[in-house]
């Protein structure tokens, strides 16, 4: 299966490291014009260096609807099309699992802003362009936590990722008449960024062994495994696939 994106314009959020960086590199090596977005300016610059001259960086907080609208309008003005949106921005924003009675309103909302509201705002912003061109791909990066429970015990993270899966299915039906597909990748645990490295170390040898034992393939995945599924969803091969959630987790 030879997947290329010649002449295609791609937007990726959360591209400063981890899955987002690898997804950006995967599109760049397939000859796409790539727009990478993140609040982490230093990490975004590093991704930009790895992706090459057809990539443009945008400092963006996806939880800020006004900033999202302005950034997407700028991208649309510079491109003939917006072909693919990858809503990858997310994470636990430095939080750790705590009892429900200790969670503040701010703790809860901060995680929802980036994981769920951000995906909604970005999808909302690209929809007019994709409708006008009568084509488009939206790929959301959720989590196994959205299908089950969060390994970290963070209530807002599990809830926001489950909400993102619901958003995927709803938008697939709303946008389908314009030939816009909306799909979701739900990664298992992957050591892909500083947060997951801290989580891995906190498990200790016993916890790490237990995690691996619960995976059918008995090994952790890599960011490239997540990017590969994104490439499929974004490609012409997935033209009649929409509203789907695919777990990329080594088998559970």
Residues taking part in catalysis? 157
Give 82's DSSP letter.
Answer: -
Sheet containing strand 55-59, edge to edge, reads 55-59, 33-38, 9-13, 84-87, 136-141, 180-187, 245-248
Strands 136-141 and 180-187: parallel
Alpha carbons within 13 angstroms on the beta-carbon side of residue 248 total 21
**Alpha helices (H) along 113-234:** 118-133, 155-175, 194-213, 223-234
Residue 196: which region, alpha, beta or left (left: phi > 0; alpha: psi -120 to 50)?
alpha
- C-alpha distances (whole Å) from 144 to each of 69, 151, 176, 187, 191 are 29, 9, 25, 6, 14
Give 61's DSSP letter.
Answer: -
Query: Which run of H or E residues covers position 33?
Result: strand 33-38
The count of residues in the chain is 252
Give 113's DSSP letter.
Answer: I
CB neighbour class for 217 (10 Å; exposed up to 12, middle 13-18, buried from 19): exposed
């Amino acid at each position: 299966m030879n997947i290329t994106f010649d002449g295609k314009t791609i937007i990726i959020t959360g591209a400063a490291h981890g899955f987002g960086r690898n997804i950006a590199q995967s599109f760049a090596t397939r000859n796409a014009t790539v727009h990478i977005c993140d609040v982490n300016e230093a990490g975004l610059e590093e991704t930009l260096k790895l992706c090459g001259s057809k990539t443009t960086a945008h400092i963006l907080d996806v939880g800020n609807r006004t900033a999202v609208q302005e950034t997407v309008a700028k991208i649309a003005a510079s491109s003939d099309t917006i072909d693919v949106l990858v809503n990858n921005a997310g994470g636990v924003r430095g939080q750790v699992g705590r009892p429900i009675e200790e969670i503040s309103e701010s703790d809860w909302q901060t995680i929802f802003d980036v994981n769920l509201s951000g995906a909604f705002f970005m999808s909302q912003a690209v929809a007019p362009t994709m409708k006008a061109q009568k084509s488009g791909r939206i790929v959301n990066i959720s989590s196994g936590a959205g299908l089950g429970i969060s390994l970290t015990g963070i209530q807002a993270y599990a809830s926001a990722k489950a909400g993102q899966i619901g958003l995927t299915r709803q938008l697939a039906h709303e946008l389908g008449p314009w030939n816009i597909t909306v799909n979701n990748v739900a990664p298992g645990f992957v050591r892909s960024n500083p947060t997951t490295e801290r989580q891995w170390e906190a498990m200790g040898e016993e916890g790490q062994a237990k995690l691996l034992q619960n995976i059918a393939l008995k090994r952790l995945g890599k960011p490239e495994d997540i990017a590969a599924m994104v490439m499929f969803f974004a490609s012409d091969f997935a033209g009649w696939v929409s509203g789907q959630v695919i777990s990329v987790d080594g088998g559970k």
